A and B are shown apart, each in its own frame.
Chain A
Amino acid sequence: MNTELVLEIPNDVHAIEEVVRYVVEQCPCCEENARKLQLNFRVGLTEALSNAILYGNGRDPSKRVRVEVAVQSAKVTARVTDEGNGFDPTAIPDPTLPRNRQRVGGRGLFLMRQLMDEVRFNERGNSVTLILRLPSGNRLGGGVEA
């Protein structure tokens, strides 16, 4: 099964839940990959969208966010692109260090990297590609470690 979606969404955090729900509905769901879609992909895509809306586009309501999703039987690929100037993903401190745990923010990129199999940014830093590999039917699909 191959599905391709291209969505242009308003720069509004209230749009995120509906977009994520819609995209997840387009993904092949079986017992083996249900948790990866419901936890890893849902949270990973939510983080990418909120980063794009809040930081990339700076909450500017005149801007848009582009979401491109390719769904295949073995993996789901989502690219989220904002209209901002980009950022340096290597500059984000580790939120799990004791000195950073009390910080209110700074966990979004960390969660993306923990929950997705691949996270890649373009050179400008305004587009992130998330790849989640779906488990084959003959083994259990762990939600986080895979």
Chain B
Amino acid sequence: MAFHVRKEGDVTVVDVDGQLIVGNRQELKQKVLAELEKGERRFLIDFSSTGYIDSSGLGVLVSLSKKVREQGGELRLSSLNEDLRTLFELTKLDTLFRIGTTREEALQGF
């Protein structure tokens, strides 16, 4: 599992490869916060290559979204498969995030 960070224009895109769970959530948090510290304000976390997310993974997304907002930025999500979308809908976190069906859709109008 890994988190790949890259830039698309002025958006920092993080690809989640594998699982986002209690065992690796801190790694994602540190990577995003490091970019936030550098001055980045627009973030997209893409789940095209993600197997599953547990409650700790969902929690870290909530935490990061708050921290980015506090700095005047925005964190969006994209490419949730059916299972991941189910988890967001069950927990009603789909109401908290702007979620693009595709990465391109999420990047539009950022």
* Interface residues of A, dominant DSSP: helix
Say yes or no for B66: interface residue by CB 8 A criterion: yes
Say yes or no for B108: interface residue by CB 8 A criterion: no
Q: Restricting to A63-113, which residues have a CB under 8 Å from any CB of B?
A: 95-96, 101-108, 110-111
| A-B interface pairs (CB < 8 A), number | 78
> A109 to chain B: closest CB distance in Å?
9
**A53 neighbours in B (Cβ, 8 Å):** 22
Say yes or no for B92: interface residue by CB 8 A criterion: yes
Q: A17-B19, A39-B83 are in contact. Are A103 and B62 (CB under 8 A)?
A: yes
Say yes or no for A46: interface residue by CB 8 A criterion: yes
CA distance in complex: A122, B2 (Å): 37
> B92 to chain A: closest CB distance in Å?
4
Q: Is the CB of A104 within 8 A of B60?
A: yes
Count of chain A residues near B, Cβ 8 A: 30
CA distance in complex: A111, B22 (Å): 14
Contact with A along B89-103 (1 / 0, CB 8 A): 011110110000000
**B83 neighbours in A (Cβ, 8 Å):** 35, 38-39, 143
Count of chain B residues near A, Cβ 8 A: 25
> A85 to chain B: closest CB distance in Å?
21
Quick check: which of B8-16, B32-40, B49-57, B71-79 contacts chain A, the rest being far away?
B49-57
Nearest-CB residue, chain B, relative to A94: B92
Q: Is the CB of B52 within 8 A of A39?
A: yes
CA distance in complex: A104, B62 (Å): 6
Say yes or no for B23: interface residue by CB 8 A criterion: yes
Q: Is the CB of A101 within 8 A of B21?
A: no
> A143 to chain B: closest CB distance in Å?
7
> A77 to chain B: closest CB distance in Å?
20
Q: Is the CB of A50 within 8 A of B96?
A: no
Q: Is the CB of B59 within 8 A of A107?
A: yes
**Interface of A toward B, CB cutoff 8 Å:** 13-14, 16-17, 35, 38-39, 42-43, 46-47, 50, 53-54, 95-96, 101-108, 110-111, 114-115, 143-144
Q: List 7 A-B contacts (CB under 8 A).
A: A42-B52, A50-B22, A104-B62, A105-B55, A110-B55, A110-B91, A111-B55
